[in-house]
Amino acid sequence: MELKSHDLETQGPVLLSGLWKFRWLFWKSFGSEDQGTYEMLPVPASWNGKNGTRLGEGYGTYELTIKLNRDYGELALLVQEQSSSYFLYVDGKLLASCGEVEFPNATDSTIFEVKPAWCTRFVTFYPQGDEVRVDMQIANKEHRLGGFWAPMRFGTAKNLSQVWHGERFMDVFLAGGLFCIGLLHLIFAVVRRGEAASFYFGLYCLIMAIRGIFAGTRVISEYLDFIKYSHFIRIEYITFYLAIPVFLNYILSVFPRELKRILVDLVWWIAAGACLVVLIFPVRIFTYTVTIYYLVAFLAGTLGLFSLTKAALRKRKGALIILAGFVFVYAALIHDILYATFFLDTGYFTNIGAFIFLIAQSVFLSIRSSDNLDRLLDLSRNLEKRVEERTKQLRNALRLIQNDLNIAREIQKGLLNLEDGSDRLIGGVRFRILHKPLAEVGGDLYDIVELSDGRIRIFLADATGHGIQAALITILIRSVYEDLRWKEGTPGSILSEMGSEFHGKYGNVATYFSAAILEISPNREKLTLSLAGAPPILVQTQDEEHVVECENPLVGLLQSFQFTDREIPLTKHYRILSFTDGLTESARLPGDFFGMERVLASLRMGGTQNLQDLLSTIHSDLQKFLGSAEPKDDLLLIGIEDQRN
């Protein structure tokens, strides 16, 4: 190599790349004889021959003569790791070594052992003349590729030392910056759950920080000398494999409409499989995975570039800034693939690309934070005005809803004849109604008629739910009952017809309800009733009390169910209480209900009260029981009393 046109002091160190003499299976310390035969191999490159003519396993000597143009004084060589052990001789003198090579059999040079190591050596020397002879002996048994991977740099000791320290400082600076920013984003993702973009970006930064100190100048080897050759390779491969899907996940979390999740998941599966191979198999086997993964990395990077470009064209917020940063990441990825496959001899640039993207990400976060701050300031300035506007809108909406409910209440009352405090006297029997819907409209209804033969028929129903939904169901109930209210038949037969019709018409929307039909005979001496999922009926005569429990299901629940009847003898001055479950199932605490016992106690103690006062007492007791608790259902209570002399 001629250096007559290159001044090492003014123009700096040179890279000893190009064609070197190479002697296969030649090792000076073994005592191999120089046969004078050699071949010219490019550096950096592996010595593996095409079509398997020479494998990665073996050893050889690279030779180069450097012709100087003048005396520079102390010179230096910077030697990076090779595959996978090396010994450096300058002018026949051993200056540096990495790893160990042994020949157990003194007569057979094909049998050798290698203890691999990855290390970088900075060596100084004084040339003996205007020529410097460099011999690089390399042996490999571990890696799939053997040879002179990384070219040496040659220069004056002062200049080359400055370059070497500058590169190590840059690696530490980039790795430290990536680590701090990555940790900050991970903490942010933990504090604010659901920030997937922060999590994946932080994870990507940490992965690249680890890769930065284990690849390139391998700064970590100066402080952790116990890390073995295989550990370096495994960490370098795994960080490369994981960085690709993690970064795609970051893009997916920021722009989910521009990137298909199934493609990201596919890259994850490939990366997971490759990492598993790296962890399980030895170096000489798992290093074959990288050739396939280069294609995966290229396609994944192209996919990310396409997705970010699409997001920028669609004018997604921050897409243009992230795309600008990703261009450097993508370019660094392509460069490192070319460097790893010996097309370039410049070194790894992924950390530089990641750091530039970090700057773009910081700009993106700053813009987003600024926008959020502007919105916050705008909100704080106009908060009172906006609250007032929203309050006005809510009042108007509430007024409209209230008007609609008032109209619905009047319509329901007009259709169903529902009145609170209604008092009726039919054939010597007094009826008193207590009706308290939970809202303006409710799901309870009743009907009292005297049939042509003198019977008095009382109908109560409680639609499931309450409010507008239940009110609509009451109209359906009344429309079906209207065709049956004058019909001859027992209470049970009428409920059976209603159940069949409801199940047939409205079974698909699960419309069913509880009901009770009571009939007082023409001579007022017998009560016939049928209950369908309703609370018990209380009957008080001069001689005894009856608590008639329900034994039938809800109306409409079963299509052809036949409801049964019960008969209770009545004597003069009897009282009957019929009500919906809004009375007995009212609760002030979970599981603490008003209950049947309190209603029965009020009936027993109200013997001297008139019917109106009895119902008022029961309602007052209920309100005292609830206290500050709000009722949860409509309330319908019908009191019946015989007033014959």
Q: Which helix (H) or strand (E) holds 462?
A: strand 456-463
Q: What pLDDT score does 521 carry?
A: 92
Residues of the chain where predicted confidence (pLDDT) is lower than 50: none
Three-class SS of residue 453?
coil
The residues near 217 (Cβ < 8 Å, ≥ 6 apart) are 80, 120, 167, 168, 171
pLDDT single digits (tens) 20-58 = 999 988 887 766 666 668 899 999 888 987 666 788 899
pTM: 0.59
Alpha helices in 25-106 (DSSP H): none
Please provide the DSSP assignment of 199-266 as one string.
HHHHHHHHHHHHHHHHSTT-GGGGT-TT--HHHHHHHHHHHHHHHHHHHHHHHHHH-TTTS-HHHHHH
Quote the pLDDT of residue 556.
83
Instruction: Report pLDDT for 104.
Output: 86
d(CA 70, CA 10): 13
What is the reported pLDDT for 411? 62
Estimate to the nearest angstrom the gap between the alpha carbon of 439 and the chain centroid. 41
Beta bridge partners of 15: 153
C-alpha 197/C-alpha 185 separation (Å) is 9
Cis-peptide, bond into residue 569, ω within 30° of zero: no
Taking CA atoms, 268 is separated from 194, 233, 234, 274, in Å, by 21, 21, 18, 10
In 3D, which of 14, 56, 255, 20 has the Cα closest to residue 135? Answer: 20
Q: Report the first-to-last Cα separation within the chain, whole angstroms.
A: 137
Contact in structure between 449 and 486 (CB atoms under 8 Å) = yes
